Amino acid sequence: MLFNSIDFAIFLPIVFTLFWFATGRSLRLQNALLLISSYLFYGWWDWRYLLLLVFSSLFDFFVGLALDKQEDGRKRSLLFWSSIAVNLTLLGFFKYYNFFADSFVQAFSLFGQQMKLPMLEVILPVGISFYTFQSMSYAINIYWRKLTPTRDILAYTAFVSFFPQLVAGPIERATNLLPQFFKAKEFDYDLVVKGLKMMLLGFFMKVVVADRLALYVDSVYNNVAMHTGWSFIVATFFFALQIYGDFAGYSLIAIGTAKLFGFNLMQNFNRPYFSASFRDFWGRWHISLSTWFKDFVYIPLGGNRGSKTRTRFNLFTTFLVSGLWHGANWTFVIWGAMHGAFQIIERMLADTVKIKLPRAISILLVFALTCLAWVFFRAATVQDAFYVIGTMFTSLGESVHIGDIGIFTFSVVGVLLLFSLEFVMEYYPGFSLLNHRWAPVRYATILFMLIYIISFGVFDGSQFIYFQF
């Protein structure tokens, strides 16, 4: 079920009403309602893939119980690796089998050997990369003795499948979200209002900014042979804001929806395009995933505890894995490698060059290089990505292809509105109109955003970009 759908517009008020007025503030009834609602929310897309979610949840639940009881080190390791193997096998089968099989065949063809491997006609289950990571981290923390497993299977399955963040995060830690399922919720008017404001902003970013920009971006990147340098520069700039508006918008809707039920999810974005370094960027972009990879990949590899060479290797490897997590395509691997290289070069320069650039220049430089990496993220193939980049630098004599003047104009207006909003929140948070101390200003802002969303939003049922991951 999509947040930006009529189905969700009907689903959410029903669940909200039942949660607060039909459960009698009973903890078990509240958790049971959330579990049933979450399974309905996920199964609305394709009920057959609901079985994967149930299996992954139950497997790690019982692995967690067994890990807590087991004192034998070898047996604990066996249980731990069984959780890793099962979750990664599910992820690998549905997401990566065709990618690795095709790469294997192509590698052998370079040596004149022709091989044939069967390709699977399977659909990637929505959200599998998110809920497997969330479930797997639960077992990992128990193995590391950082978490005591719960014996309440209802609370645990509700935690893994919690519908606001089920299909695209934030990827929550059991230490933060799971305890919230053991506290009966009391209706909090202020929290609900805060949640609704976050949802309003999220919908604005999605349907007014991201989906409007997507119309231009898709027209260029889906027909790369028909466009020139300036068109690619504009489309890449628009895509940088499209993917931010799309995913940060989703996260705001998810966090805001959770607040309607008394739950607090972690912040997932913090205005990343105002970052003055790549290290800062990854502290602001998809925070739940970047911290997941830091805790469960980078630090176990050794983190920064070894030599500088070893630290750079750990960092680069983490970003390679992160790139592969985003999709079964070499474009994502290269995207991850570029960000790993950016961080390594940045650290090397910090050690050798003592000149500090003005913050505004640093922000523009980080944004420009981030946009360069986005080319690989958006392009359909590696060949398309190199064609786009090459054309950017060799074919700037022709004018930008605008296409439909209305689409282009509203795209520019959306960019300006988003920038203005982000600039105020970054540098003058006290002037936030949605949370202004004067009620008339708040209400006028809310009314303006509602009217703007209804009038200029794109309501074509487009799914969120990160659903494909």
Q: Residue 158: helix, strand or coil by DSSP?
A: helix
Structure tokens at 461: 């049922």
Residue 65, C-beta contacts closer than 8 angstroms, at least 6 positions apart: 149, 151
Active-site position among 227, 286, 326, 401: 326
User: Can you tell me the distance from the alpha carbon of 333 to that of 29, in angstroms, rounded to the nearest whole number?
Assistant: 44
CB of 67 within 8 A of CB of 162?
Answer: no
Q: Supply angle C-alpha 47, 52, 55, rounded to 5.
A: 125
Q: Is the distance from CB of 254 to CB of 164 less than 8 angstroms?
A: yes
326 is catalytic: yes
| Whole-angstrom distance, CA of residue 403 vs CA of residue 405 | 6
Ramachandran angles phi, psi of 113, nearest 5°: -100, 130
CA distance 5 to 351: 50
C-alpha 175/C-alpha 67 separation (Å) is: 17
Pair of tokens at residue 84: 């890793």
Contacts of 69 (CB under 8 A, 6+ apart): none
88-to-17, 85, 130, 254 alpha-carbon distances in Å: 38, 5, 12, 25
- At residue 192, φ and ψ (nearest 5 deg) are -65, -45
Q: Is the link from the previous residue into 170 a cis peptide, with omega within 30 of 0?
A: yes
Cβ atoms within 10 Å, residue 111:
6
- Helix or strand holding residue 144 (H, E): none
* Cα 370 to Cα 303: distance, rounded to the nearest angstrom: 24
Residues 6+ apart with CB under 8 A from 434: 197, 200, 201, 442, 445, 446, 449
Catalytic residues: 326
